[in-house]
Structure 1
């Protein structure tokens, strides 16, 4: 791991390729040590079993994480048909086995179809969702019955890339494009249930969050070896860019509205990144009637 930074850390966004066996908090802890700051957060938790893209915000750029966490995501996963577990993934205990060898490929594809598009999904019991102020996984591990409400999610792609047949099980390598809040473990569980043989997740890798891909991202031991992505570049990629003058930047930083300027943002677009003539992110602005108003300001020391 890179040595602890001895100079102030500039705000920025860091893409990390998380290995299996580490929690998302473990990665944040390593980043804090490597960069010499405690002001680091992450967008979108990955389970210890999962690998892939974790996005960290450093210093003032943590303010951008709220705009990143809700972005669509892509996962590569392996689903085992013929075995169910109490966690819907390989970290749990096997609760039932059913011979899946007789399943036809066409039947598997047909069962996947209802799990695509806008669907109602019950999250896995072993999840970070809070129930009565406590995490569902804590309640489940304490032996309590946990009932989670179904939620609407969107699965825009659920594609089988490979199919491997064992004596009684079938392993499917799949790729899933989905909205934030989708549980891939729940897709594995529900696919197995629809086929009558049970199913669980044996591998999971997140390869994309919004416009950001895992390709080329450093592992936890390489954090600090390369530059952070600037808040301006990241905000523009996520939200779109609005160039403002120096005077407008000053007004926004002081909490003033840009009167009559709402037409500078397309009617269908939400908040956008306001960037000053020096390429520095001023903040995020949104339409308020005919005006533009700051929805989030960046500290003035933000990196370009």
Structure 2
């Protein structure tokens, strides 16, 4: 099932006018897919920035055109397949800031065309390397298979990580199963399946919808008096020197913006000609 299909089903079941998600999952993958409804769809761009967790099956000894086991096998290693200790030994080389070349079978656009569309036609093009960050990377054996526990920045391709690990080991590798275990503060153990959602009553489904503000609970809050609230809602900058603020804010920092009736927006702190100010970037009203 594609992420688009999952969003469409949730939209129908909740009777929402709009729906969106926080980052595409491969059709063969499963796991966490936060879905935003109605005005919360504007939060999609913010959630996409969050770090993500994955649990992936590392299949050693093969290389495929898609970098996972759904693709066509290009090479098969005939030597002795490395064990878990050899895998663990090289993992530190992939932790921290590293560079990845996105796979051809990806949704990235080059000159207006999706890479996977080109790949299906047998066309390969040069892809720009991407800077990513792997915060955590562990390997373990479960039922005689090797699995990777990964916590990484946005834009990380776990298929490519598996492929690069195989190249480093000299035997090749591809990704088997993939489960997304987290997106920001959204965890797998708190998620529900589409099947569970379909079986629920309308009232129980409504109880699952969380307030938009909770998406930004980790951000500092700025309370605006009515006059400045109107300015912010109209897209004007609100200069911090004109506000009585207890906390300190840094240029580039995201903040929650509250008005007389509570939360209504998020914005960034930025430097303008007349000083440091906040400007609403997404209104949730």
> Hey, what does 1:110 align to over in structure 2?
89
- Residues in 2 aligned to 1:257 and 1:189: alpha-carbon distance in whole angstroms: 47
CA shift at 1:176, angstroms? Answer: 0.5
From 195, 201, 214, the equivalent of 1:233 is: 214
Alignment equivalent of 1:279, drawn from 243, 259, 262 = 262
Retained in 1: the 8 A contact 2:252–2:270? no
The 3 A distance-change label for structure 1 pair 89 and 65 is same
Secondary structure of the corresponding residue to residue 67 of structure 1: helix
Which of 120, 124, 142 is the equivalent residue of 1:145?
124
CA distance in 1, matches of 2:268, 2:252: 11
SS in 2 for 1:215: helix
Distance 2:8 2:221 in 1: 32
Native 8 Å contact 2:84 2:139 kept in 1: no
Instruction: Quote how far apart the aligned CAs of 1:288 are.
Output: 3.3
Which of 180, 185, 189 does residue 159 from structure 2 map onto? 185
Point out which structure has higher relative CO (alpha carbons under 8 A, 6+ apart): 1
Aligned to 2:233: 253
Q: TM-score, normalised by structure 1?
A: 0.82
Q: Matched residues in 2 for 1:217 and 1:164: separation?
A: 25
The answer to whether the 8 Å contact 1:162/1:174 transfers is no
Specify the alignment match of 1:5 in structure 2: none
Q: Secondary structure at the match of 1:54?
A: coil
Matched, 1:198 2:191: no
User: Deviation of residue 251 (structure 1)?
Assistant: 2.9
Q: What SS does the corresponding residue of 2:215 show, helix, strand or coil?
A: helix
> TM-score, with normalisation over the residues of structure 2?
0.87
CA RMSD of aligned residues (A): 2.3
Unaligned runs of 5+ residues in structure 2 are none
Question: Distance between the aligned counterparts of 2:66 and 2:190, measured in 1?
Answer: 31
Gaps of 5+ in 1: 1-21, 166-170
Per-residue deviation, 1:254: 2.7
The answer to which structure has the higher helix fraction is 2
1:86 deviation in Å? 1.4
